[in-house]
Structure 1
Amino acid sequence: MSQIQIWAQKVNSFSLVNENEISTIVIDDSEAEVIKIAGNLLKNDIKNISGKTPNLGNSLEENIILAGTLSKSKWIKQLVHSNKIKVSDIEGKWETYKILVVENPFDEVKKALVIIGSDRRATAYGLLEISRKIGVSPWEWWADVVPEKSQNIQLNIASETFGEPSVKYRGIFLNDEDWGLQPWAANTFEPETNDIGPKTYAKVFELLLRLRANTIWPAMHSSTKAFYHYPENKKVADDYAIVVGSSHAEPMLSNINAEWDRETMGDYRYDTNASSIKKFFEKRTKATANYEGIYTLGMRGEHDSPMIVGNEDVASQVSLLENVIGDQREILKKYKADYPNTPQAFVPYKEVLHYYKNGLKVPDDVTLIWTDDNYGYIRQLSTESEQNRKGGSGVYYHTSYWGRPHDYLWLNSTNPVLMWEELHKAYSLNAREMWILNSGDIKPHEYNIELFMDMGWNISAFEKSEKVEGHQISWAKREFGKEVSSTISDIMNSYYHLAFQRKPEFMAWSQVEPVTKNKQTQLSSIHYGDEVTTRINGYEQLVASVDSIKDQITNNRKDAFYELVYYPVKAAAALNNMWLYAYKNKFVAKQNRESAKYYAQKSSEAYQAIEQMTSFYNDSIQHGKWKYIMNKSPRNLPVFDQPVYTGANSSQESGIGLALEGHEMEYNQNITNAHSDVLPVFNAYTKNSYYLDVFLKGKEAQSWSTKTTVPWLKLSKTEGKLSAENPENRIIVSIDWDLVPKAKNRKEPPLGHDYQLIPPSYKISSSVDFLTTKDTKTVGISVFNPKFEELKKYDGFIEDKGFVVINAENPTRNKKGTETFWEPIQNLGYSGKVMQSKPYKAESIAINDSVLKNSAVLSYDFYTFNYGEVAIRLASLPTHPLNENYGVRCAVAIDDNSPEIIDFETQGRSEEWKENVLRNRTIKSISSILNKPGKHTLKIYIIDPGLMIDQILIDLGGLKNAYGFPAETRQRK
C-alpha cells in the first residue's frame, strides 16, 4: 500500500453547524456557474436541516467548506502548490472529485472541508455529495423527501475519491409528456410560459446534478414547444452543466415535430429537399456551437415515422442515409470548434437498424446507441469488432412507453432487477459511452431513475443481482428510516413481482394502434387454485402491508411515502382489482351466482379508488404542488375505463349452488360422465388442496352444512349462511395425510393421463355432503395414495395430475462447463428467481453431443407415474440475441435421449413478440419420450449466453389452459 493510500484512509471530523458557529462555503469567483448553483443548493440543504444559513462567498474564514475545480480555483491551486493536498488521482479525469479535511490549509483558516473536482461537473457533484452525507435525498424537491432536522451537523470524513464514472454520459429522456409533466408545468409550476420552459428545466437539471447525471434528451412531443424555442433553455442547461442531446427521431438537436414547417420549408425528405433540411441543421448547429451537446446523426421521417425515400430498395435507402450522415458531419466540422471530438450518436432503431444491418456505414468515432424493444429487453449489442469502435456504444432504455402492443405510461412497473440485468449485460459488452433512460414524466419513476444513474456512476457496486435489493433497502432507509426500510423493500419487491407477471396497464387484454376493446382474460378462474382470485389475494396482501406501515412513517416523510410507495402500490392494486373483479363478475354470472353483484361492486369501488387517490396526489400533496402531474388514464385507453358488468338471473329459484375447482359450470349431480361432482384428485406426494365455492342463487338467504364419513377429510369451513351481503363462501378442501389410509401396493403404473380415471386400486375415495333445507349435494373425493417403496427415499419433483412443474432455480445438480455456467438471478421471473447462461462474452457452443459435454448443464431429477410422449415446455424471459453472432438457444434432453435445440428468438414486432412482452415471458415446447414410469432426469445445456430460464413444465397430457404454470410439483413429505 502506497503512502498516499495510507494517508487517504485517515478520518477527520468536520462540523458544518453547531451551537456556536456555522461553516462558510467558499467558491472562487472564476468557477463555472454550476458550481455556484451547487453551492447554493448545499447552503439551502444545510439551512433546511439546521435552521441556520451558512454564508456563500469568496473570502476565507476560520471554518470553511472549500469547493474548487483544479483548473479554476485559486485556493485549490494554492493548496496543491503548498503540497497540502494531492490531486494526482483526479488530474485529467472525467467527472472525478475528491473530498477531504485539511487542517490549517491557510493562515486564516483553522480547518477546511475541501472538495476538489477534475472539471466543473465533478466539483458540483462533490458539493452535493456533502448534501447526501448530511441526509438530503436527491428527491428532496421532486418527491418531497423533507430532511430530518438537527441543530448540529458534523461529518466524519475519510479522504475519498469519487469517479471516474462507469458510463461517460448518463441521463434521461423526457418523453410522452402530454399527460403529466407538460400539463403540470404549464398550469401549476410554470404558467408564465404555459409550457415546459426554463424554470421547469432548471428543476430537472437540479435533479440530474443531485443524481450525478449529466445528459438530457428534452421533451419533444407536439404538446410542448421545442427545447430551443426558448433561448433561455440552452443557457440554463449550460449553467447546470447539462449536456443536451436528442432522441433517435431528432437529428442534430432539432425537434422535427415542432420545428419543421412543411408550408415554408417543404417536404421533410432528403431525397427531394436536402438543401432546406441542411439549412435547418446548420442553423441549429450554429446556435449550439458554444454549448456542450451530443449530436444525433441520421434521419427518420416526421412524427417518428420511417424516412420517406423515392426509391424503396434497401440499397438506395442505405446510400441516402449515408449521404445524410456525411452532410451532417460536414456541418459539425464547420461550426464546432472541438470537432472531430464533438460527441455524435447514431441510434439503430426500428427501420434504421434494418439499414445498419444491410451495410450502412457509420463513422468509427460515432457512438452507436443500442435500444431495448420498448419493453425492457435490449434488441442487440455490439459485436466484438464493434466494441473496438472509437466512438464506443451506449444504451437507450425504456421504463415508460407509448406504442404497440400496449402503452405503459402511467405507473413505473419495470422490474429493477430486469433493468439491472440488461444494463449489466450492456456494460459487459462495452456499452459505456452513453446511457439514456426514457423515464416519461419523471414521476412516478423515481426509484428506477436513481438505480439507473447509480449503476451508470459506479457499475462495480452492482456486480450481482443481490446488490439491487441492497440498493433498494438503502434507498428506503434514506427516505423513510431504518425501522421500515426492509419492509418497504419487501413491499416494492412484491409490487414489481406482480407487475412483472403482467403490468397494470395490460390487464384489459387489449392492444393499441389500432386500439382494441378489452378482451377475456387468459387468467383461469377454475384451474390451479383460481388464478384470478390468487392475483386478487396477492394484491390484497400487498395493500395490507402498505396500509399497515403507513402510520409508521414520520410526518415529514408522509408525502414522500405517498408519492414513492403508497400511490404506485395501491393504484396498481386498484387497476388490477377493477379488472379482476370484473372477470369474476362475468364468470360467476354464467353460473347464476348472486355474488355477481358483489364482484361488480368491488370492481366499481376499485375504479373509484383510482379516481380518489389520483385526485389526492394532484390536489392535496404539498398544497397542490403536483396538480396535473398524475393522470390516471393516459391516452384514455380502454384499460382505464370502468368495465361493463353482468348480473345473475334474477328470476331464478332461491337455493344454494356449488362450483368445484377444475369445472367451468356449476355442480350438477344429474349430469353423468362429466365429473361435475368430483374435485381434482388429491396427490399424496404433492399434498395439494383444492377449493370449492358454496354460493347463493336467488334473493332468499340460505343456510348450509356439511357431512363427511371419514376423519381424514378437512374442510376450512363446515357450515354457513349465505345472504345478499355474504353471497358465497370459498372452502379449501385438504387431506390429513397422517390419517388417510394407503391404497394397495401395485407394481405397474396407473394407466392413462386422466387422473379421474386412475384405477380404483390406487385411490382412496370418499365424499362430502352439502346439506340445505331443500336438498343434499354430494361431492366426490379421490386421493391418489399408493404404496411405492422407491419413493420413500426419493426427494425431488414428481408428477401430479399429468404434469411436472419445476422452477428453474431448483436444479438437482448445476454443473459448470469449460467456459460457461448457469447463474441465479433473484427477484426476477414468475417464480422469483431465474437461471441465466453466462458469461456474456462466451462464444455460442456448437450444437453436437461431443461439444455439449463441455457446456454447463442444469439437471433436474423428476418422477412420473406415466410414460410415453411428453411435451417439455420451457418458460424464459423474452430476451434477444446479444448481437448478430448469437441466438437465444439452449439444448434439452431427458435421460439418454439426444439433446434437442430450443430457440427463443423472435422476429421484429411479430404477434409472438407482442404476446411475449405483454406477459413478460416466452414459452417454447419440444416433444420427447419417457420410455418407462419412475425416475428421470431433464438436462438443459447452454448454447448461447444471456438466456434466462424461469420455469419448466413436463406435460404428460394433463395440463389445462391457464395464464401461468401450475405450482411447482415438488414431493412433500
Structure 2
Amino acid sequence: MKKLKNNIMLKHIILLLICFQFTILNAQKQGVSEFTIVDENISTSILIDKKEAKVVQIAADIFAKDVFNISNKNISVNTKKSNSSQIILAGTIGSNSWVDALISNGKINVSQFKGHWERYTIQVVENPMKGVDKALVVVGSDRRGTAYGILELSRMIGVSPWEWWADVTPDKQQTIKITVENKVSKSPSVKYRGVFLNDEDWGLQRWAALNFEPETGDIGPKTYAKVFELLLRLRANTIWPAMHSSTKPFYSYPNNKFVADDYAIVVGTSHAEPMLSNFNTEWKHATMGEYRYDTNSETIKNFFKKRVKETAKFEGIYTTGMRGEHDSPMIVGEDDTDSQVKLLEQVITDQRSILKSETKKNPNTIPQAFVPYKEVLKYYQSGLKLPEDITLVWTDDNYGYMRQLSNPEEQKRTGGAGVYYHTSYWGRPHDYLWLNSTNPVLMWEEMSKAFEFQSKDIWILNCGDIKPHEYNIELFLDMAWDMSDFEKSTAVKNHMMDWSAREFGTASAKEITELMFDNNRLAYIRRPEFMAWSQVEPVTKEGDTELTQFHYNDEVSTRIDSYQNLIETTESLYETISDNRKDAFYQLVYYPVIGASKLNQKWLYSFKNKFTAKQNRESANYFGTLSKESYLRIEKETEYYNTKLNNGKWNHIMTMAPRFLPVFAKPALAHVKTDTKAHLGLALEGYQMEVNQEVINSYADVLPVFNSYTNSSYFIDVFVNGEGTVTWEAKPKADWIKLSENNGTLNTNSGKAEKRIWVTIDWAKVPKGENKKEAPLGHDFQLIPPSFKVNSAIDFVSEGKATTIGVSVFNPKLEALKNYKGFVEDKGYVSINAENFTRKTAGEAAHWDVFEGIGYTNKVITALPRQATPLVHVDAIKSQSPVLEYDFYTFNFGEAAVNLQAVPTHAPHAGVGVRCAVSIDDAEPVIVDFQTFGRSDAWKENVLKNAAVQSVKQVVNKAGKHTLKIWMVDPGVMIDQILIDLGGWKQSYSFPKQTLKD
C-alpha cells in the first residue's frame, strides 16, 4: 500500500513538472520573458550606437538615472560593446549597426513597423551577438520611437513620468526585474501631441527666473530641457513655448532650438504667433512700424523669412494666418469680413511662398497649422480658401467646449485636423489660472468627439504653468497616444485609479480616485475661480451668489459641508501616504483639493456672514471668522508649497492670486454688534427672514410641507440674538416629528452662537390619509384637501417663552401609488436626474447612453453615435428618433414649464445643432435648442455654470400619472437634469434634488 501511495505521489510530481514545463514553453512561444536589470550579481549596461540621434542617448541616460534612484546601482551607457554577458540594446532601425544586424539575421522582425511614425518593440533576445548571452532589445522605427521604448522601461520598473516634476520618488528595490511581452507598440492615435505653456507670468516664469534658472533669469534652455524630458516621459512630441511679454521669446535664446532638437521635440506656436514668431516681444514698433499686413506687409514678410531661415533644419509646425498684437483681432484698412478674408488669404499665400523659398521644399511637405480661433473662425466660416495640406486646428471656447469640428468634406482634407484645448485660461467672462478645475471626463468627452470627427493630426493642451495640471496633462496625452484605451466614459475613472495606484500605492488608490472625482464634480458645478460671482474684461467686484440659503436644504451650507468632507478625507489620506510620496501627494492631490475647498469656503462663509447679519444673528461674526480662516489657510498652504516643499525646490511656482482678481482677495465682511440681552432667535427653511416672535400666531411660521413619497427633511436654525447665553428646548407636539436635537445652549463668546436642527418624519407613526383612487385636485400644493394633510407643530421654549413652528405633512393613501415606481410631484415641481429614465427606446440609427463622471449629478445621458443624422421634422422624430421616457405623478394640473439642463456643448458643424425634443404624454414634440453663439450673455452664463438651461411649456391635463418624453434631434446632446415646474419651484442655483418616490 505504501509503495502504491509513493507511486501515485511520484506521478503527481511528474505531472506537475510537465505542466510547469508546458507553462514555460507556452510563455516562450507567446514571447513572454523575464529580464533582470540589476540584482546582487547583475548590473546591466545599455548599448547604443554613436550614430544614434541625441534623444536616444538622452533617453538612455534618463533610464540609467531611474535605475540608480531605485537601486543605488549604476548602469553604464556605452557606445562600444562591453564584455557583459547581459545587456540592454537600444537603437533605431537604420541608425544602429547592432540592431540592423539582428534584423538581417532574423533575430528580430521589424516588418510590422519599419518606416512607421514613433513605434517601437521591446524584446528579450537570446545570444544576440558574440559574447552576449541575453539582451533586452529596444528597437524604434524612428528616433522618438526608440526614446519612447527606452522610457517605457522606466514605466515598467515603476518610475512615474512625474518623478521630477511632482517629486514622485521611486520605491527602493535591491532587484529590478521586468516581464517582457514580445509585441510592437501601436501607431500613436494623434501624430503631434503636446502642450502650450501659457499665462506663465504667475508661476513657471517666476520659478525659472528666481529659482531654477537664475543664470538666465527666465524660462531658458535649462528649464526647457526639464519640460522636454517630461514630454518624452509622457510620450508627447510637441511644444508651443511660453509667449507672454514676461518671458523672452523662445528663439531669443539660441540654445533653445538645439535643446528641443536634442529631445526630438517639435516646436510650434499658438494661433497668435504665425511662422514660429512671438509678436508680443519680437515686434519693435520703433524700427518695424505698425503691425498690420495691409500697410506694412514687406516688413512682416521679412520677419517671417528670418524665422523660417533660422528654423528650416529643425522639426517645426508653422502656424499660418495672422491675428493682431497681444492675441487681438487683425487690423485691416476696411472693416468688413470680405476684406479681412481676402487679406488673410494673401497672408497665407505669402507665408507658403516664404516656406518654399527658405526651406527649398514644397510647402505641402512642411507641417503647417491654421487655427480658426475667435474672429478667425468667423473668417473661415465666411469662405476663406485654405490650402488642403494645412492642418485645421479647431479650438474649444476657452472653457472646455469645442466650438467646431470637421464636417464630412473637411475630414477628407490631406492636412487633416487637430485640436487646441484649454485647462487654463485668461479672459472673459472670467479667468481660471490657479487650479486645474476642468473636469477630466468633460475633457475626455470633447476630445473623443474631436477624434471621432477625425481630429487626429495635432493635439495641443493649454496647461498654463504645468502645475497643478499634472493629472489632466497626462490624461490628455495618454488619450492622444492611444485613444482605443478610452472608448467609454468609465475609462477615465479606471485611468485615474491606475494613476493613483502608480503614484501612491494600490491601498489608497480607490479612495484618492473618489476624492478627486468628487472634487471635480463640485468644480464642475462651479469652478473655484468663479465663486465670487464676478467677471473680467472689465474686472467687476464680487457679486451676489445665486446659491440659495433658505430653500432646498440651503445650497450654501450643503456646498460647505461637501468641501469639508473633502478636506477631512485629504488630510486623513496624507497621513497614510508613505514618506517618499508625501511631497508628491501634496502637489498632485493635497494642495489642489485644499485650495479649491478653502477658496470655496472663504466665499461660502462670507455669503453666510452677510445673510445672517441681515437677520442680526451674532453667528454672522463667527461665519466671518471662518471666511478669514479659509483665506489664511490658502495663504499658509501656498507658502508651504513655495518655501518648504522639498526644501524649496518649487519656490515661486505657485501664486494663490493670479492677476490679483477679486475672487482671490479677502471678502468684505459684515459685523454684528448689539448691546441687547441675549434671547433665542429662529429661522426656518423656506423663509428669507427670521421668525418674528412678537407676532402671536401659533401657525404663522410653518415649515415646507413634508411629503411621504419623497421623505423630505427641513431645517430650523436656533441662534442667539443679542449678547450672552441662551438655553432652548424643542417640544414636538406629535410623536412622529423627529428632531436632530431637542435642546441645547448657545453662547456668543464660544463660537457656538447658532445650531441647525433637522426635522424629519417617522412615517410609520403618521396617521394615513383617506384611501383614494385619485389624486387630490388643486392648483396649489399648499391647498391640498385636508384629508391628505396632517398638521402639528413644534414649540421652541427659551426663558419661559414658547414659539410655535407649524409642521404639515402630506400623507395620502393612494391606490395609484401603491406599487408605483417613478417620480412624484413635491411642493409644485417634479425633479429628475436625466440618467434615471423609466424606459429608453433606440432609434433607427442612434441610441441613448450614459456618461459617468460629468454633470451636476455626475452622470449625463447622451444620444450616440455623434455623427448620426439629425432629425428635425416631427414625423421623423416620432418614428425614427431614440426616446427617453420618465414616468411621473402629479397632485396638481395645469400648464407646466419643462426645464432641461444640458452640458453646454456647441454644434460640431453647420447642419447639426444642440437640440432635443420634449413632450408630456401624447402631445406633439417641441424642439429645445441649447446652441449659443459667439460670446453672448447666454454663453457667458453657460460656461460660468457649466450648464445650459432651456424651458418649454407643456400641459399636465389632470392630476395623476404622466410620462415625459425626450427625443433625440441632434446626436451628442448631453442631458443632465430635468425639472417639471407646476409653479412651485423657488429660486435656486441648481435644480432641487430629484423627487423619486421613496
Shorter-chain TM band: over 0.9
Determine which of 634, 649, 661 is the counterpart of 1:637: 661
- The 2-side partners of 1:822 and 1:921 are apart by 20
- The 2-side partners of 1:758 and 1:648 are apart by 41
Matched position secondary structure for 1:111 = strand
1:744 paired residue number: 770
- The 1-side partners of 2:43 and 2:840 are apart by 60
Deviates more, 1:722-731 or 1:578-587: 722-731
Judged with a 3 Å threshold, the aligned counterparts in structure 2 of structure 1 residues 907 and 8 are, in CA distance, closer, same or farther, namely farther
Note if contact 1:765-1:781 (Cα within 8 Å) is conserved in structure 2: yes
- The 2-side partners of 1:753 and 1:460 are apart by 53
1:22 paired residue number: 43
Determine which of 945, 949, 966 is the counterpart of 1:923: 949
- The 2-side partners of 1:839 and 1:362 are apart by 29
Unaligned runs of at least 5 residues, structure 2: 1-25
2:21 paired residue number: none
- The 1-side partners of 2:698 and 2:704 are apart by 13
- The 2-side partners of 1:855 and 1:195 are apart by 57
Letter in 2 for 1:245: G
Q: Is residue 385 from structure 1 mapped to residue 406 from structure 2 by the alignment? A: no
Instruction: After TM superposition, give the deviation of residue 760 of structure 1 in Å.
Output: 2.1
Note if contact 2:779-2:893 (Cα within 8 Å) is conserved in structure 1: no
1:684 paired residue number: 708
Note if contact 2:500-2:513 (Cα within 8 Å) is conserved in structure 1: yes
Letter in 2 for 1:691: F
Cα displacement string for residues 284-326 of structure 1 (whole angstroms, at most 9, x for unaligned residues): 0000000000000000001000000001121111110000000
Q: Is residue 165 from structure 1 mapped to residue 188 from structure 2 by the alignment? A: yes
1:208-607 to structure 2, matched below 5 A, reads 208-339=231-362, 340-607=364-631
Deviates more, 1:841-850 or 1:214-223: 841-850
Determine which of 86, 98, 108 is the counterpart of 1:75: 98
Note if contact 1:845-1:852 (Cα within 8 Å) is conserved in structure 2: no
2:69 paired residue number: 48
Instruction: After TM superposition, give the deviation of residue 673 of structure 1 in Å.
Output: 9.4
1:947 paired residue number: 973
Instruction: After TM superposition, give the deviation of residue 338 of structure 1 in Å.
Output: 4.3
Instruction: After TM superposition, give the deviation of residue 832 of structure 1 in Å.
Output: 1.1
Determine which of 80, 87, 95 is the counterpart of 2:110: 87
Determine which of 832, 850, 853 is the counterpart of 1:824: 850
Note if contact 1:392-1:430 (Cα within 8 Å) is conserved in structure 2: yes
Note if contact 1:536-1:577 (Cα within 8 Å) is conserved in structure 2: yes
Note if contact 2:780-2:892 (Cα within 8 Å) is conserved in structure 1: no
2:15 paired residue number: none
Unaligned runs of at least 5 residues, structure 1: none
2:691 paired residue number: 667
Deviates more, 1:737-746 or 1:422-431: 737-746
How many percent identity over aligned positions?
Answer: 58
Note if contact 2:699-2:804 (Cα within 8 Å) is conserved in structure 1: no
Note if contact 1:146-1:556 (Cα within 8 Å) is conserved in structure 2: yes
Note if contact 2:642-2:648 (Cα within 8 Å) is conserved in structure 1: yes
CA RMSD of aligned residues (A): 1.3
Deviates more, 1:758-767 or 1:719-728: 758-767
Q: Is residue 205 from structure 1 mapped to residue 228 from structure 2 by the alignment? A: yes
Instruction: After TM superposition, give the deviation of residue 676 of structure 1 in Å.
Output: 5.3
- The 2-side partners of 1:639 and 1:55 are apart by 53
- The 2-side partners of 1:237 and 1:928 are apart by 61
1:194 paired residue number: 217
Matched position secondary structure for 1:721 = strand
- The 2-side partners of 1:676 and 1:407 are apart by 46
Deviates more, 1:278-287 or 1:837-846: 837-846
- The 2-side partners of 1:696 and 1:8 are apart by 79
Note if contact 1:667-1:676 (Cα within 8 Å) is conserved in structure 2: no
Instruction: After TM superposition, give the deviation of residue 751 of structure 1 in Å.
Output: 4.7
Q: Is residue 58 from structure 1 mapped to residue 82 from structure 2 by the alignment? A: no
Cα displacement string for residues 187-222 of structure 1 (whole angstroms, at most 9, x for unaligned residues): 000000000000000000000000000000000000
- The 2-side partners of 1:13 and 1:382 are apart by 46
- The 1-side partners of 2:732 and 2:215 are apart by 76
Matched position secondary structure for 1:853 = helix
Instruction: After TM superposition, give the deviation of residue 7 of structure 1 in Å.
Output: 7.5
TM-score by length of 2: 0.96
Instruction: After TM superposition, give the deviation of residue 10 of structure 1 in Å.
Output: 1.7
Note if contact 1:849-1:898 (Cα within 8 Å) is conserved in structure 2: no
Instruction: After TM superposition, give the deviation of residue 160 of structure 1 in Å.
Output: 1.9
Instruction: After TM superposition, give the deviation of residue 32 of structure 1 in Å.
Output: 0.2
Cα displacement string for residues 147-203 of structure 1 (whole angstroms, at most 9, x for unaligned residues): 000011011111121121000000000000001000000000000000000000000
- The 1-side partners of 2:780 and 2:465 are apart by 53
Note if contact 2:400-2:422 (Cα within 8 Å) is conserved in structure 1: yes
Note if contact 2:433-2:464 (Cα within 8 Å) is conserved in structure 1: yes
Deviates more, 1:329-338 or 1:712-721: 329-338
Aligned residue pairs total 968
1:99 paired residue number: 122
Q: Is residue 144 from structure 1 mapped to residue 170 from structure 2 by the alignment? A: no
Q: Is residue 609 from structure 1 mapped to residue 630 from structure 2 by the alignment? A: no
- The 1-side partners of 2:287 and 2:414 are apart by 39
Instruction: After TM superposition, give the deviation of residue 21 of structure 1 in Å.
Output: 1.8
Letter in 1 for 2:130: D
Judged with a 3 Å threshold, the aligned counterparts in structure 2 of structure 1 residues 7 and 852 are, in CA distance, closer, same or farther, namely farther
TM-score by length of 1: 0.98
Matched position secondary structure for 1:893 = strand
2:12 paired residue number: none
- The 2-side partners of 1:318 and 1:436 are apart by 26
- The 2-side partners of 1:8 and 1:952 are apart by 57
Matched position secondary structure for 1:59 = coil
- The 2-side partners of 1:498 and 1:351 are apart by 32
Cα displacement string for residues 532-554 of structure 1 (whole angstroms, at most 9, x for unaligned residues): 00000000111111111111100
Instruction: After TM superposition, give the deviation of residue 851 of structure 1 in Å.
Output: 4.3
Instruction: After TM superposition, give the deviation of residue 674 of structure 1 in Å.
Output: 12
1:701 paired residue number: 725
- The 2-side partners of 1:664 and 1:689 are apart by 18
Instruction: After TM superposition, give the deviation of residue 946 of structure 1 in Å.
Output: 1.2
Matched position secondary structure for 2:756 = strand
Determine which of 648, 655, 678 is the counterpart of 1:654: 678
Matched position secondary structure for 2:995 = coil
Judged with a 3 Å threshold, the aligned counterparts in structure 2 of structure 1 residues 755 and 228 are, in CA distance, closer, same or farther, namely same
2:894 paired residue number: 868
2:5 paired residue number: none
Letter in 2 for 1:77: D
- The 2-side partners of 1:838 and 1:519 are apart by 39
Instruction: After TM superposition, give the deviation of residue 391 of structure 1 in Å.
Output: 0.2
2:745 paired residue number: 721
Instruction: After TM superposition, give the deviation of residue 852 of structure 1 in Å.
Output: 3.0
Matched position secondary structure for 2:300 = helix
Instruction: After TM superposition, give the deviation of residue 709 of structure 1 in Å.
Output: 2.6
Cα displacement string for residues 481-513 of structure 1 (whole angstroms, at most 9, x for unaligned residues): 000000000000011000000000000000000
Instruction: After TM superposition, give the deviation of residue 758 of structure 1 in Å.
Output: 2.6
1:789-800 to structure 2, matched below 5 A, reads 789-800=815-826
Note if contact 1:190-1:200 (Cα within 8 Å) is conserved in structure 2: yes
Note if contact 2:775-2:814 (Cα within 8 Å) is conserved in structure 1: no
- The 1-side partners of 2:401 and 2:610 are apart by 35
Letter in 2 for 1:877: V
Deviates more, 1:81-90 or 1:164-173: 81-90
- The 1-side partners of 2:283 and 2:114 are apart by 44
